[in-house]
Amino acid sequence: METATKTLWKIDPTHSEVQFKVKHLVISTVTGQFNRFEGSLEAESDDFDGATAGFTLETTSVDTNQSDRDNHLKSVDFFDAEKFPHITFKGSLKKVADNQYKLAGPLTIKGITKEVELDVEHGGTMVDGYGQTKAGFEISGSIDRKEFGLTWSMVTEAGGVVVGDRVKLQLNIQLTQA
C-alpha cells in the first residue's frame, strides 16, 4: 500500500503576525500581538484538507504598545511568563468550503489545555521571486481568557469591568514549503 507524501510548511515570521483584541472598560478595544513565535503545517494534499498544525509562541514577546501593560500581562496576574514561557497549539485543518477551513485542537495557556476551534481562510499558494512556494492563511476566532487561568480583573468605581473575558484572535500566517 502506498502512503501519501507529507509536505512540511514552516511559518515565515517576517510575513506573519499573531494579534489579539480584548475589551477595555467595556467601551474600547486594546489590540496586542506576540512578536516571537514559530510553527509548521504538515499536509498530504495541495488543498491542505486534513493537514496537521503545530504552533508555539513566547509569552514574553507580548506587545500592546504600552510597556507597563505589557509587564502586567507577563506577570502572575496574566501569563506568568517566567513559569509559563510558551503558549502552544496542535490541531488539524478540515476543509468546509472553497478556501474555508476549521482548525481544531488543544490550546495550552498557563498549563491549562482546552479544545478550541478557529476559522481559517486560505488566501492562496504562490511561488515567490526566490522560487519558494508560499501559502497564506487568515485565522480568526475567540477564547474565554478565564478558561485558561487568565482571571485577573478589576471593577471600576462605576461598576465597569476593566478587562473583558472574550479575547479575539487574529493570525495572518504565511508558510514556506520546506
Domain ranges in the chain? 7-177
Least confident of 32-36, 152-156, 173-177: 152-156
pLDDT in tens, 103-119: 999 999 999 999 999 99
The verdict on domain 7-177 having CATH code 2.40.128.110 is yes
Assessment of whether the complete model's pTM goes beyond 0.85: yes
Q: Of 58, 67, 64, which Cα lies nearest the Cα of 36?
A: 58
> What's the CA gap between 157 and 86, in Å, rounded?
35
Write the burial class of residue 127 (CB in 10 Å: 0-12 exposed, 13-18 middle, 19+ buried). Answer: exposed
Mean pLDDT of the region 156-174: 72
DSSP designation for 157: T
Tell me phi and psi for residue 118, to 5 degrees: -120, 155
What pLDDT sits at residue 63?
A: 94
What pLDDT sits at residue 165?
A: 76
pLDDT-based confidence at 161, cuts 50/70/90? very low
Cα torsion 105, 13, 38, 143: sign: negative
pLDDT in tens, 31-71: 899 999 999 999 998 899 999 999 999 999 999 988 988 99
Residue that the C-alpha cell 503545517 belongs to? 41
